[in-house]
A and B are shown apart, each in its own frame.
Chain A
Amino acid sequence: MKYTLTVNGKSRTVDVPAEMPLLWVLRDTLELPGTKYGCGVAQCGACTVHLNGEPTRSCQMPVSSVGAAAITTIEGLSADGSHPLQRAWRELDVPQCGYCQAGQIMAAAALLAKTRRPTAADIDASMNGNLCRCATYLRIRDGIHRAVELAAGPPRRTTRTSTSTSGERGR
């Protein structure tokens, strides 16, 4: 079946089975492998993309259900890696292995698009579906807060790294 998708602002036509999950269409047909496979059952969030701005598990979304929705992947979050979350992630060096981080950033980007200054509880609630096997959760929290600062004003240099750090907690 032929489907015309809007991916990262571009129109792309694919000829794939109707039930093929968007994840595999993105990764293997459209060669946008930034979106990751972790579980295939919506348990880990590694495959998170935006559909019309909503965080969506692309492993559970048949391509035939996407319709005209605008799809945004990590490759399209910003043209040049300058989204505040990407900047914050670089600044704080959030990833360890990095495999889950595209999904983490897309989940966080959807949160920040709706809630400019999320509380720690907002972060816990929005991010709880995204597993990180390396457990970089503390830096993900710090990264989201830092992205809020970066989005609010011109970048200023902070040093949040030391040999003794803890990472705050919400709830």
Chain B
Amino acid sequence: MDALRLDRRAFLRVSALAGGGMLLAPCLEPFAGLAAAEVEAAALGAFIRIGANGGITIVAKNPEIGQGVKTMLPMLIADELGADWKDVTVEQAPSDPARYGVQFSGGSRATPGHWEELRRVGAAGRQMLVTAAALTWAVPESECRAGASAVVHVRSGRKLGYGRLAARAATLPAPDLKSVVLKDAREFTLIGKPTRSVDTPAIVTGRPIFGIDVRVPGMLFAVFEKCPVFGGKVASANLDQVKSEPGVRHVFVVEGGAALTGLLGGVAIVADSWWAANTARGKLVAQWNEGPAAGVSSAGIARRAAELASDPPARVLRKDGDAAAALATAAKTVRAAYAYPFLSHATLEPQNCTAKVDAGKVEIWSTTQTPQSGRQLVAQTLGVAESDITIHLVRAGGGFGRRLSNDYLVEAAWIARAAGSPVQLRWTREDDMRHDFYRPAGFHHLEAGLDAAGKLVAWRDHFVTFGEGEQFAPSAGIQPTEFPSRFVPNFELGTSVQPPLVPTGALRAPGSNALAFVFQSFLDELAHAGGADPVRFRLDLLGEPRVVQESDGRGVYHAGRMRGVLEAVAERSGWGKRTLPKGTGLGVAFHYSHLGYFAEVVEAQVEGDAVRVNNVWVVGDIGSTIINPLNAVHQAQGSVLDGLGQAMAQEITIERGRTVQGNFHEYALLRHAQAPPVDVHFLVSDNPPTGLGEPALPPVIPALCNAIFAASGRRVRELPLARAGMRWA
């Protein structure tokens, strides 16, 4: 073993060079299960440690929210490293951007943001191991090959496992990441192979791996009752009475600030157990200063939207050709108004966070999707330095964009400091549903014109949404390049806004999850108005395979990639080739978002108000490589079923500045018996791989609505379907 003992100075130097940062700190991650098998680990950069016994630890840098990055990102490193996956233990990184780079889960960014970067990290490690082997044998590196966790000297057949090479490799200068040689795709051993999630064994045995499972010595439990009206504050509360309840240790008012994304006003109750805290909450009587949002209601929002729609748009975001003139001379015009509601994220694990504040140092265990933003928010709100805040990343029971916001995180830190002991803050389901950052509702007033041949020649949309002046509320905006922009010669997109008094934010495929419904449904209306087959009409609209983009290079849209998935989904679903029984219909839709091209077909059966989805076909083009096909299929299936549930029944309504719905009996997710088979197929294209957490969702909603039209003649222009009395069969 002496030969393998590390020179600590060299070891740290290498860490600093390859990791771009700090010392190799002892790992304090309490949940992910340290690599017990790893002995005398040598670090090859920030992401790789190899034990003398051959155990390989690879760090997963981003928050895991169920999208599979804790497995997929280490796969990229492991393949290039030449590691045998069975030797690999994955370890969740803490939040440490200086060491790991930007750590963020959102926007389906993990794949495009790391496809090359993390393979380079793995390739650098492989190169160090090859150099170490070549030095050991005194042979040229070119005669050495790495793979299956070992280096082989090809001419002599000598072989050394990575565990035997790691200590020496760690003393070598780290290669320049930019110049390391990456594998050819044909050499991949792990990328492209169905690979199970590293946490599945812990999940199926009930191991404590989620945010709500965190335990810290001396920890108390907290509930936090905020003003039910968004942004309101506490006027008075019977704190003494609540404090006398069993098990209660602290009850106090949190003044809170004005920003809906930060610490808001409320009453914190801290007790020996969560049950005691929540039971005491039942005795709380608070008076609130409700603030300017108290008058907000869904009905009022809809009324104001109708008023705004009766005037010309406040802003014109895009104007190509002359839509008004083209509409005046069109052979046929179609007008329609579309609307969709606020939605909640409803992660099955309600928001929670564990925090400890001791001698000015803050330690947080959180399911946040944006740890660095969380650190900044805590630093600003508590008045502590960012460098005094440690954030451990804990597996989240769903994200869907909810945990991009860090409101619950700053609440936990504030309450823990005031309580003077570690605290786990847990929201109830009702807290979670009533204090969300909702997918914004929206209203579109559309008008389009067809020429005598049924070709779409004019399109005008007045989108009524939320914002102030030229600033849209979060996730309430639209890009001037949104399809069918640039595919219609006379095109006009205008917007008007009303004040953003309801907190809004990103929900899985933000923007797209609503816009696809509106535009792909209206396109369906136009196809039928012109007597065209809905697939044919869309292919004609896409036109020749070509790349459409703005003069500054932004807004890239590959018409050919979309044609490809549309043609493939038509083929796979038997579009136009099957005779369907009366009351059954096919609907098609496509959408580009998050760099992915997706087309989907829904087969729906409609009897009265009862809707049954028989099948869904999905074809996606997310580039050259499906990194983990096992998870890719699953993400697409989950997105589609999520979208079906959303379309049928989900709606958040606001009355007197409060969210009406509080739990799943009022906000229905899709259930087992309602889930149809979902056929998923990927087209491989010569493009860099892109993400899959989101882009499969948007098309399924209009595909369902178009199928309902095909089956029954009922055109859905307002979501959810339940508003029109529809329900699952």
Extra 6 A-B pairs, beta carbons < 8 Å, given A135-B642, A135-B670: A73-B206, A90-B201, A96-B66, A135-B640, A166-B678, A167-B678
| B71 to A, closest residue via Cβ | A93
**What is the chain B residue whose CB lies nearest that of A98?**
B203
Smallest CB gap from A121: residue in B: B673
Question: Whole-angstrom distance from the CB of A126 to the nearest CB of chain B?
Answer: 9
Tell me the dominant secondary structure on chain A's binding face: loop
Can you identify 17 A-B contacts, CB atoms within 8 angstroms?
A32-B206, A33-B213, A37-B212, A40-B663, A85-B204, A97-B349, A97-B396, A98-B395, A99-B210, A100-B397, A131-B348, A133-B642, A134-B66, A135-B638, A161-B633, A162-B633, A164-B680
Would you call A125 an interface residue if the criterion is a C-beta within 8 Å of the partner chain's C-beta atoms? yes
Contact status A24-B246, CB under 8 Å: no
Tell whether, in the assembled complex, residue B633 and residue A33 are in contact, meaning their CB atoms are under 8 Å apart. no
A162 vs B221: C-alpha distance in the bound complex, in angstroms?
45
| Chain A interfacial positions (CB closer than 8 Å to B) | 16-17, 20-21, 24, 28-29, 31-41, 43-44, 46, 73-75, 77, 81, 85-86, 89-90, 93-102, 105, 123-125, 127-141, 161-171
Q: How far is the CA of A16 from the CA of B275 in the complex (A)?
A: 10
B206 near A169 (CB under 8 angstroms)?
Answer: no
What residue of chain A has the Cβ atom nearest to residue B349's Cβ?
A99
In angstroms, Cα B672 to Cα A33, docked, is 25
- Of the candidates A20, A86, A95, A135, the one having the most CB atoms from chain B within 10 angstroms of its own CB is A135
The CA of A93 and the CA of B632, in the complex, are separated in Å by 12
Chain A min CB distance to B259 (Å): 28
Listed residue (B196, B203, B633, B677) with the most chain A CB atoms within 10 angstroms of its CB: B203
Residues of A within 8 A of B221 (CB): 28
Beyond A33-B208, A98-B395, whether A137 also contacts B672 by CB under 8 A is: yes
Chain B residue numbers with a CB within 8 Å of A28 are: 221, 273-275
Q: Across the interface, do A100 and B675 meet the contact criterion of CB distance under 8 Å? A: no
Asked whether B629 lies within 8 Å of A128 as measured between CB atoms, the reply is no
Q: Which of A29, A43, A163 contacts B665 (CB 8 A)?
A: A43
Q: Which of B348, B641, B642, B682 contacts A46 (CB 8 A)?
A: B348
Q: Are A41 and B429 in contact (CB under 8 A)?
A: yes
Checking B279, B348, B630, B637 against A99 with a beta-carbon cut-off of 8 angstroms, the contacting residue is B348
- Check if A89 sits within 8 Å of B204, measured CB to CB: yes
For residue B144, CB closer than 8 A to chain A, the reply is: no
**Are A100's CB and B348's CB within 8 A?**
yes
Q: Is the CB of A105 within 8 A of B348?
A: no
Interface string of B660-679 (1 = CB under 8 A from A): 00011100011111011111
B628's closest neighbor in chain A, by CB? Answer: A93
8 nearest A-B residue pairs (beta carbon) = A34-B206, A97-B66, A99-B397, A135-B641, A74-B206, A98-B203, A124-B673, A43-B664
Cβ contacts under 8 Å, B632 to chain A: 163
A138 touches B675 (CB 8 A): yes
Q: B205–A167 contact, CB under 8 A? A: no
Binary CB contact string for chain B from 184 to 225 against chain A (1 if under 8 A, 0 otherwise): 000000000010110111011111111011010000010000
The CA of A47 and the CA of B194, in the complex, are separated in Å by 31
Tell whether B681 is near chain A: CB-to-CB under 8 Å: yes
B350 within 8 A of A: yes
Which A residue sits closest to B65, measured CB to CB? A97
Given contacts A34-B207, A135-B637, contact A98 B66 (CB under 8 A): yes
Could you say which of B395, B631, B637 has the most chain A C-beta atoms within 10 Å of its C-beta? B637
Q: Which residue of B lies closest to A167 (CB)?
A: B677
Given the interface pairs A24-B275, A37-B350, A97-B65, the reply to whether A75 lies near B673 with Cβ below 8 Å is no
Taking CB atoms, residues of chain B closer than 8 Å to A35 are 206
* B residues adjacent to A (C-beta < 8 A): 65-68, 194, 196-197, 199-201, 203-210, 212-213, 215, 221, 246, 273-276, 279, 346-350, 395-400, 426, 428-429, 615, 626, 629-635, 637-638, 640-642, 645, 663-665, 669-673, 675-682
Q: How far is the CB of B21 from chain A (nearest CB, A)?
A: 30
Q: How far is A170 from B671 in the complex, measured between Cα atoms in Å?
A: 13
> Contacts A20-B275, A163-B681 hold; do A134 and B204 have CB atoms under 8 A apart?
no
Complexed CA–CA distance, A6 and B499 (Å)? 56
- Chain B residues contacting A171 (CB-CB under 8 Å) are 673
Pairwise interchain contact B348-A132, C-beta atoms closer than 8 A? yes
CA distance A85 to B200 in the complex (A): 12
Please give me the residue from chain B that is nearest to A93 by CB atom. B196
A29 contacts B273, CB within 8 Å?
Answer: yes
Closest CB in chain A relative to B637 CB, distance in Å: 6
Complex contacts, B663 vs chain A, CB 8 Å: 39-41, 43
Least distance between A28 CB and chain B CB atoms (Å): 5
Write out the residue numbers on chain B whose beta carbons fall within 8 Å of the beta carbon of A86.
204-205
By the criterion CB–CB under 8 Å, are B669 and A131 in contact?
Answer: yes
Q: Are A163 and B671 in contact (CB under 8 A)?
A: no
Task: List, in ascending order, chain B residues with CB within 8 A of A127's CB.
Answer: 672-673
* Assembly CA distance A134 to B271 (angstroms): 32
With A32-B206, A33-B206: A139-B634 Cβ-Cβ less than 8 Å: yes
A141 vs chain B, min Cβ distance (A): 8
Contacts of A34 in B (CB 8 A): 205-208
Query: Among the listed B204, B669, B682, which residue makes an inter-chain contact with A101, where contact means beta carbons less than 8 Å apart?
Result: B204
In the bound assembly, the distance between CA atoms of A124 and B395 in angstroms comes to 29
Bound-state CA distance A33–B31 (Å) is: 13
Chain B residues with Cβ below 8 Å from A44 are 348, 664
Residues of chain A contacted by B634 (CB below 8 angstroms): 93, 96, 136, 139
- Bound complex: CA of A130 vs CA of B65, how far in Å? 20
Q: Which of B196, B199, B676 contacts A169 (CB 8 A)?
A: B676
Q: List, in ascending order, chain B residues with CB within 8 A of A36's CB.
A: 210, 212, 348-349, 397
Q: How far is the CB of A100 from chain B (nearest CB, A)?
A: 5
- A107–B204 Cα gap in the complex (Å)? 13
* Complex-state Cα separation, A79 to B635, whole angstroms: 31
Q: Is A161 a contact of B630 with CB atoms below 8 Å?
A: yes
Q: Least Cβ distance of B300 to chain A in Å?
A: 29
- A163 to B663 Cα, complex, angstroms: 36
Q: Which A residues lie within 8 Å of B201 (CB)?
A: 81, 90
Task: Decide: A24 and B273 in contact? CB cutoff 8 A.
Answer: yes
User: In the complex, how many angstroms separate the beta carbon of B5 from the nearest chain A beta carbon?
Assistant: 36
- If A21-B275, A133-B346 touch, whether A169 touches B677 (CB-CB below 8 Å) is yes
Chain A residues near B429: list those with CB within 8 A.
38-41
Among B197, B347, B400, B679, the residue within 8 A (CB) of A166 is B679
A96 and B400 CA atoms in complex are apart in Å by 12
**With the chains together, A93 CA to B194 CA distance in Å?**
10
Chain A residues near B273 (CB-CB < 8 A): 24, 28-29
Cα(A39)–Cα(B246), bound, Å: 24
Please, which residues of chain B bring their CB within 8 A of the CB of A75? Answer: 205-206
Given A24-B274, A97-B396, A163-B629, A90:B200 Cβ within 8 A = yes
For A133, the chain B residues whose CB sits under 8 A away are 346-348, 398, 400, 642, 669
Complex: how many Å from CA A36 to CA B397? 10
Closest residue on chain B to residue A32 by CB atoms: B206
In the bound complex, residues from chain A placing their C-beta under 8 Å from that of B672 are 123-124, 127-128, 130, 137, 140-141
Q: Which residue from B204, B208, B274, B640 sits with its C-beta under 8 Å from A105?
A: B204
Bound form: Cα–Cα A43–B428 in Å: 14
> From A170, which residue of chain B is reached at the shortest CB distance?
B673
Known: A98-B200, A130-B672, A133-B669. A167 touches B275 (CB 8 A): no
- Complex CA–CA separation, A28 to B400 (angstroms): 27
Verify B203–A95 contact, CB threshold 8 A.
yes
Question: Given A24-B274, A90-B200, A169-B677, A97–B637 Cβ distance below 8 Å?
Answer: no
Residues of A within 8 A of B197 (CB): 93, 95
A90 touching B349 in the complex, CB below 8 Å, given contacts A128-B671, A164-B679, A167-B677: no
A112 smallest CB distance to B (angstroms): 15
Partner of B626, one of A97, A100, A163: A163
